[in-house]
Every structure is written in structure tokens, then in C-alpha cells.
Chain A
Amino acid sequence: MSDSFPRGRTAIAGLATFGVGEMPGYSSIELTAKAGLQALEDSGLSLRDVDALYICQPDDFFAGLTFAEYLGIQPRYTDNNRTGGSAFMSHMASAALALDAGYIDCALIAYGSNQRSNGGKLATKITSNAWDLPYAPLFPLTSYALAATRHMHEFGTTREDLAAVALAARAWAQTNPEAFARGPLTLDDCLSARMVSTPISVRDCCLVTDGAAAIVMTRTDRARDLAKPPVPVLGAAAATWWNSIAQAPDVTVTAASESGPRAMAMAGVSPDDIQTAQLYDAFTINTILFLEDLGFCPKGEGGRFVSSGAIAPGGSMPVNTNGGGLSYCHPGMYGLFAIIEAARQIRGEAANQLPGIDLALAHGNGGTLSSQATAVLGSMATL
């Protein structure tokens, strides 16, 4: 069954990040509202134009209701899809379909968390299921460690390869003033870092930061007349293959191998056409798995691909050009930040702007490699 998607008929009209890094004294919904209002200002639309909300907060299962009340609007449609960090790509897919159908006219997709200032721990109530819980895996970290161990066993991936992902992210972050972690980082720092759950050390883990992000989506014909160049959504697809990592048939192959090809087919592009990829790097193994599953290198070659320098500044496939979840920010769920960096690259306003970006991919991951969602964004030239 092939997907039907309104290629390019809806677009990101506005975007904003707020409070990236540390923002003490703000609640999560305050950060989210600030990002949402700034994204509207960026687009030239106003709060009165918003008739649909898409949100997934770390600490509020009724976040859609909270957000509508907080903003003081009565949306026609409120979507609280909660697949983890991939939720925001799913939000984009749903919003594109609803906008194109005329069911809604203006979607605000937002996220925010104060998890760094509010205790410094991952702010989620989600944990392992009852079958896994007695064995005390670190949630979600050990699940990723299990995937990494197996990937090393099958394909010869090394801790140096994992470190190459962290080093590339840091190199991008060092020239992004908004990035939280910009200090020096060496291979030796990574290899000698405190081990958490083998083979994952603290340097293989994403940051714990505050931060909020928001995008405004509308139909492209309307976005043409707004404040900023529209960033059309060419394709977006989500795939769910399991919840617990114990239920993965093969922990080295994720549902990105489904969501990626589907999203790229909708967009009419292949991996070779994508000029930059923003991949949800909760842990260093994620980047390796997603590079393979999305088709940027063959299965099993991800470790050697990143160690070749391909994803770092100057490489052939620039990945996480803002510094990613490893060095830019990670306020619990990162998906929307990946979307925004892809859109900024297409607009030409990224901190580490690459020349002539017309096609960018944003990939989100949720749960324990469970839910994968991919969005392909283009410039107006790709329509």
C-alpha cells in the first residue's frame, strides 16, 4: 500500500526556539507558550489565526488542554499524540493532512520543558513495562545499550565509532551560539568517560537541558504571502514497531527503515538527494542506526561512516548541524528541534548554514527505538 500525502501543499510558515540550555525560573508551559508566540510572530500570523494545537509535554498528559487554556484559544482540533520524541513529526503529518483537507487552517505545534532547571533529570513518568521492570534496566538508556552491544557484535562497530558521533555533534555545536555544550571534547574524553550501561558512557548520552520549540503550519498558498519564506512539507511518515526493546525482532534495525523510505517516496526523493539530515540523537548509537535505516549508508556500515568524518563539519552528509541532542539541547523530547534545524537550513538562517540547501530531512525517535517518524522538508524550488 502506498501513502497518499499532499506533497508541498502545506508548509512551515513560522518557527522559534526559546530558552535553549538553561532557563531557570520558568515552568514548562511558560517556555512552550513563549516559543509558540514567537513562532507566530516569526510567521506574521497571530494567535487568533490558530485553530489547531499539536503538543506533547513531558510532564502533562493533558497538555493540549492546558496549552489551549494557557494561550486563551478554543482550537477546532487538539492533538496530544504521544509517541515520545517522534511525536512532533507525527504532528506534522496529521497537521498537513488536516490543513490540506480544509479541516483546519493554521496549526501550532509546540513543546517545552524546564527539566534542567527543575531537578536535572529526564522529566517523564514513562518507564519500563511490567515484564522488563524487575530487571531494572535504566529507562530508556539500557534499551539503547542493548541495541549498541548487538550492533557491535554483528557489524564490528566500536566505541570509537560511537565517540565519532559525539565529536561531530560537538564540532557543530562549537560554532552555534545557541548550543548548550560548546566546550572542547576529545576522543580520549569520550573513551575515558564514566560508563553508565555498557557500552554507553555519559559522553554517549544526550544533554539534559531546558528548552522550547514551536512551528506554525499553514497551506503553502497562504504561507507564500506571509513574513518568511515557506518551508514546504514534502513528505512525513511515522512507523511503530514495538514498545519494549525486548520485542524487537532485530535490535539493529529500527522502524526508521519504514518511515524514511515512505516519507522520501512521498517527497519523490532518494537518500542521495537529501543535503542535510537532522537525526534524533538521544544516544550516539541512534545516529548510526538511523543513518543506516534511512539509507545514507548500508546496514552495518554506520560506525565506519561516522568515523570517516562524513557527518561532521566539512563531511559529505552533514548531520545535526545545530549540535543535536548530544550538544545543542535535549529538553526531554528533541523531535521538534530537529524539524526546526532542518527548516532553518532551508530558509538559510541556520547558525551553521550550509550552502544552497533545498532538501533536508528531520527524523524523530520515540520510546526505546520504538516509534520512528521522518519528515522531508524542501525549499519552494522543490515544488
Chain B
Amino acid sequence: MSGPEAHWRAALAEGRFLLQRTAEGTAIFPPRVAAPGRGEPTLEWFEASGRGTVYSLSWIQRRPPAAPYNVALIDLEEGARLMSRVEDVDAGALAIGMPVEAFIDRSGEEPILLFRPAGDRS
């Protein structure tokens, strides 16, 4: 047995992006032991579509030659919101409302969830 955070991370390591939903169908992120604001412990795991849109964004500038990177808030199709980064996109192209899709990046120590513009499989 493990808590919901460990469960979520284990699933991500297996290539699955999970969300929880309440009995009413409200999607929850980050994972919790109970429904926020209600306390009901009957949360159900389900696999997210990975589809979302950019809700807000910021480009963080670094000392050259390091390139700027972005931090974005992503509204998931299912309703939850999370912080992430959108890859494969220029500063001029990344915009609020842009459709994006999730992928799992394994280049670091721990797998993390990233996004790229929807339909861009390059």
C-alpha cells in the first residue's frame, strides 16, 4: 500500500499519466487522499487524455548562451490544472489558449510530465 502521490509517481514511471476524480466526476490534481473541500475518500483513478490548453505562461530568461525556458499552467481537458513546460515551441508561438498534449520526459533523474503543441509529433 502507498499514498496517492507514490501511486501517481509509480504510474508515471510506467508511462501512464493518471488523474483522480470525485464521485461527482470532478478531476483532481495533484493527487489527494480525499476530495478537496468535501473530504470524501472515494476518489477514483483514471488515465488522463493528456490533452489540454495553455492557461498562462512565463518565459524565464537566463544568462546567455543558456536559452530561455517556459513555465506554463495547463488546463487539462478533464478539468484539472497543473504547472508544466511546453517543449518544441518558440517564445513567439506559445500563447494562452494553445492546444497542447502531454508526454513523459525521461531525460532527468525522475520522469516528469511535459507538454508539446497538439498534433506536433516532430
Contacts and interface: CB of A to CB of B under 8 A. Distances in A.
Contact of B71 (A142, A196, A251): A142
Interface residues of A, number: 27
Q: How large is the interface on B (under 10, 10 to 19, 20 to 34, 35 or more residues)?
A: 20 to 34
Given A132-B83, A135-B83, A150 B56 contact: yes
Of the listed residues B56, B60, B112, the one surrounded by the most CB atoms of chain A closer than 10 A to its CB is B56
Contacts of B60: 136-138, 142, 196-198
Interface string A127-162: 000111011111000100111011001000000000
Nearest to B113: A134
A2 interface: no
Interface in B53-104: 55-61, 69, 71, 73, 81-85, 91, 96
B45 to A, nearest CB: 17
Contacts of B81: 246-247
A86 B120 CA distance: 44
Determine the main DSSP class of A at the interface with B.
mixed
B38 to A, nearest CB: 16
A194 interface: yes
A294 interface: no
Contacts of B71: 135-137, 142, 146, 197
Interface in A184-210: 194-200
B47 interface: no
B110 interface: yes
A150 to B, nearest CB: 4
B73 A146 contact: yes
Nearest to B61: A195
Nearest to A150: B56
B57 A134 contact: no
A138 B58 CA distance: 10
A245 interface: yes
Contacts of A245: 73, 83
B29 to A, nearest CB: 8
Contact of A197 (B29, B59, B84, B96): B59
Contacts of B57: 146, 149, 198
A137 B112 CA distance: 15
8 contacts: A135-B84, A136-B60, A142-B60, A142-B71, A146-B57, A153-B96, A199-B58, A251-B56
Given A134-B108, A198-B58, A245-B83, 16 more contacts: A130-B5, A132-B83, A135-B112, A137-B71, A138-B60, A146-B57, A146-B73, A150-B55, A150-B96, A195-B59, A196-B60, A196-B61, A197-B58, A198-B59, A244-B83, A251-B55
